[in-house]
């Protein structure tokens, strides 16, 4: 047995943190869309979108969160070549997500009572964070945080569908509040390991939080309503 094979894989605290966060976000997506997508056969009476494009959209978005778990795991186990190869796949997947996300937002908005400001804002933030993450892929600490923020920025739809009474009745305050709560572990991690917030955590987190009341306000303005119509 060679020394390389015999050597035990080491999982530093930082890698464990990012893998744990990725698993928590994936679990939120699965829980939120369990009744309408992942476990749909067991909930035949639960409302589900009639358009088949939403199920393809769900599969693509689920693949993104799964990739978020796999990528730090590959780094932790020393599979750097696989990490780089999947990174290129992830960039293509992110592009597909942006196109699909905007399209299904328009489809959903065309329904009676549909809305468009929140999902389009999600896609805008996701595009900003992912683009910066790709540009900063060689700056590990910046790249990791941007990828995490990109994943959190997409969670509004999943959080709003969590099968919890306070979520089903709480409205925007509830699901935006849970989304913001998912930033807390990153804030705690920065303070514990750096004694200060990383610039990405600070400014990216503020951008995400500030966008929430802004998109709600924008969605009620006459100019936006005219555009949406």
Summarised one tens digit per residue, pLDDT across range 135-162 is 999 999 999 999 999 999 999 989 988 8
Domain that residue 165 falls in: 11-40+50-228
pLDDT in tens, 49-62: 888 888 899 999 99
Domain count, the chain: 1
Please work out, in degrees rounded to the nearest 5, the angle formed at the alpha carbon of residue 62 by the alpha carbons of 70 and 77: 5
Position 6 in a domain: no
Residue with tokens 């099968």: 163
**152, burial (CB in 10 Å: exposed 0-12, middle 13-18, buried 19+):** buried
Give the number of other CB atoms < 10 A from CB of residue 216: 16
Higher confidence at residue 110 or residue 113?
110
Position 1 in a domain: no
Position 217 in a domain: yes
Position 5 in a domain: no
What does DSSP assign to residue 114? Answer: -
What pTM does this model have?
0.88
Q: How far apart are CA 16 and CA 182, in angstroms?
A: 16
Residues, the chain: 229
Position 2 in a domain: no
pLDDT at 218: 82
Structure tokens at 222: 């006459």
């Amino acid at each position: 047995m060679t020394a390389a094979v015999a050597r035990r894989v080491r999982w530093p605290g930082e890698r464990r943190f990012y893998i744990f966060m990725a698993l928590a976000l994936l679990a939120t997506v699965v829980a939120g869309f369990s009744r309408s997508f992942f476990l749909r056969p067991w909930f035949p009476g639960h409302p589900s979108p009639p358009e088949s494009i939403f199920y393809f959209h769900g599969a693509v978005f689920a693949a993104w969160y799964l990739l978020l778990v796999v990528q730090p795991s590959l780094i932790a186990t020393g599979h750097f070549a696989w990490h780089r190869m999947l990174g290129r796949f992830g960039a293509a997947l992110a592009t597909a997500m942006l196109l699909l996300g905007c399209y299904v937002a328009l489809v959903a908005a065309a329904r009676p009572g549909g809305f468009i400001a929140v999902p389009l804002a999600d896609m805008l933030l996701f595009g900003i964070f992912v683009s910066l993450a790709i540009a900063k892929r060689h700056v590990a600490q910046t790249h990791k945080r941007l990828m995490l923020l990109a994943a959190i920025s997409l969670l509004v739809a999943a959080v709003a569908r969590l099968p919890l009474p306070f979520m089903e009745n709480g409205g925007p305050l509830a699901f935006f509040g849970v989304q913001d709560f998912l930033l807390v572990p990153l804030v705690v991690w920065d303070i514990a390991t750096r004694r200060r917030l990383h610039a990405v955590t600070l400014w990216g987190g503020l951008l995400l939080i500030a966008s929430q009341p802004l998109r709600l306000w924008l969605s009620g303005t006459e100019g936006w309503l005219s555009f949406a119509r």
